[in-house]
Amino acid sequence: MPAPAPTLAAECGLARLEYHERVGSTMDEAHRLAQAEAAAGTLVLADAQDGGRGRGGRSWASEPDAGIWMTLIERPRDSHALDVLALRVGLALSDALEPFCAGRITLKWPNDLLVGAGKLAGILIEARWRESLPEWVAIGVGINRRVPASFPGAATVHADIPRDELLRATLPAMRRAAAQGGRLTPDECARWADRDMAYGREITEPRAGRAVGIDASGALLIAEPRGATYAARSGSLVFADVAQP
């Protein structure tokens, strides 16, 4: 990689940076390091992944030199903060990445960043617990630097932006997001509303109705046909007006 790992780690506010030209999954490697007592702020970064994954076990195209494929280890103690961590990281990445994109970044609950109709980045959060407290959390992020051959509709950052420049912009923002405690603040909820691509749209999943924002716990609020509002805490958005493959 262009900058030596220790130099880039210091520039990004990391405790350690583990770089791989190719790895099965940065998420799996991060869990292995965390189990071996890797410090908070340890990052696993790969040029390519053979088994990159997103939420629900979905595959993530991780071609060589095509994006940022990374997982950050943190060691939070606040379980309420874990509930909203994907949303908080999404907000942080939106602000950090937007200067590098051709359009405005919008957010799709709970873990996707889009430019226009194309997916720019995805977030995967996996925590490991000891008794009732989180022992560590692995924050997986994939950011497209060029359009994957298998996903021609994806969005990307501007061409020819050095990977290290993107890391310097995103990692401090991710670490600040991971350090915050508690549920989402009113300001964070307002910032999400400003970028919410689902607001007002009819959806079929995770429950039929109309998406009307999120609450401080990170739940998706769904106005149901009978007039009640349902708070969905898991699942993925499926829009009624978009044909599914």
Instruction: Extract the runs of DSSP E, i.e. beta strands, from 13-64.
Output: 16-23, 42-49
Distance CA 96, CA 120 (A): 13
Rg of the Cα atoms in the chain: 18
CA 144 to chain centre: 12
Kindly list the domain boundaries of the chain, sorted by start residue: 5-182, 198-239
Q: Nearest-CA neighbor of 105 among 95, 168, 187, 21? A: 95
Joined together, the tokens standing for residue 80 give: 């309420």
CATH classification of 5-182 is 3.30.930.10, yes or no?
yes
pLDDT score at 57: 57
Distance CA 71, CA 51 (A): 13
Which amino acid would we find at residue 109? W
Q: Using CA atoms in the order 72, 176, 117, 195, what is the torsion angle rounded to 10 degrees?
A: 160
Answer whether 0.75 is exceeded by the pTM: yes
Q: What is the pLDDT along the chain (245 residues), one digit of tens a residue?
A: 457 788 999 999 999 999 999 999 999 999 999 999 999 999 999 999 887 665 555 666 577 888 999 999 999 989 889 999 999 999 999 999 999 999 999 999 999 999 999 999 999 999 999 888 899 999 999 999 999 887 889 999 999 899 999 999 999 999 999 999 999 999 999 999 999 999 999 999 999 999 999 999 999 999 998 889 999 999 999 999 876 54
pLDDT score at 149: 80
pLDDT score at 56: 55
CATH architecture of 198-239: Roll (2.30)
What are the CB-based long-range contacts (under 8 Å, 24+) for 122-126?
122/54, 122/55, 122/60, 123/86, 123/89, 123/90, 123/93, 124/27, 124/53, 124/54, 124/55, 125/82, 125/85, 125/86, 125/89, 126/27, 126/31
